[in-house]
Structure 1
Amino acid sequence: MPDANKTFDLTVTPQILAAMGGGEIAYVRAIKSDDLNRLFPQAPEIQPGLDLFALLGADGTPIMVTDSRNTAIANAWENNLTPVSVH
């Protein structure tokens, strides 16, 4: 009979999460334009304080940035990725 009081360590590391969604999941994340160059170093400088949306691969790889959440979601679907939101 199983021990009902036994606990298990089910720690999920960022690496495990990234591997789980690789090529299938993309994250839509709200960002400020101030953070744009940290995620997208090649992006041009833009006005600070703007609300933007980044589409990132499951491993955190930047895919695209836009000023519209719906555009980020549509881009995920166009690339056969399931979009999920990160708050």
Structure 2
Amino acid sequence: MPEASASLKQISIADWARFGVEEIAYIRPVVVNGVRAMAIHAADGTPIGAAPSAELAMAAIRQHEMEPALVH
């Protein structure tokens, strides 16, 4: 798994878009109204939601039959 994680860090924005907007979503930490949260974005960067934790964000992504990815 570490090799896959390292490979994902080298993917360009254009490469992410090629994966398919409906197949992969990524999460990243944000602050919403002064509260830390996790933003959920489609592979092309389109915002599609937010959750209070990474675990809930990933669960929401999986619930919509997409694969989650974490962006630092």
* Fold shared, TM-score > 0.5 on shorter chain: yes
Q: Between the two proteins, what is the percent identity of the paired residues?
A: 32
1:12-31 alignment to 2 at 5 Å?
13-31=12-30
Which residues of structure 1 form unaligned runs of 5+? 1-11, 34-45
State the SS of the aligned residue for 1:65: strand
How far does residue 71 in structure 1 lie from its aligned partner after superposition? 1.0
State the SS of the aligned residue for 2:48: strand
The match for 1:51 is 36
Give the structure with the larger helix fraction.
2
C-alpha distance in 2, partners of 1:54/1:20?
A: 19
State the SS of the aligned residue for 1:59: coil
The match for 2:51 is 66
1:32-51 alignment to 2 at 5 Å?
32-33=31-32, 46=33, 48=34, 50-51=35-36
Alignment size in residue pairs: 62
How far does residue 13 in structure 1 lie from its aligned partner after superposition? 4.8
The match for 2:67 is 82
Q: Give 1 or 2 for the bigger CA radius of gyration.
A: 1
Give the structure with the larger strand fraction.
2
Measured on the aligned residues, the alpha-carbon RMSD in Å equals: 1.6
Which residues of structure 2 form unaligned runs of 5+? 1-10
C-alpha distance in 2, partners of 1:52/1:23?
A: 22
- Opposite residue 26 of structure 2, the aligned amino acid is Y
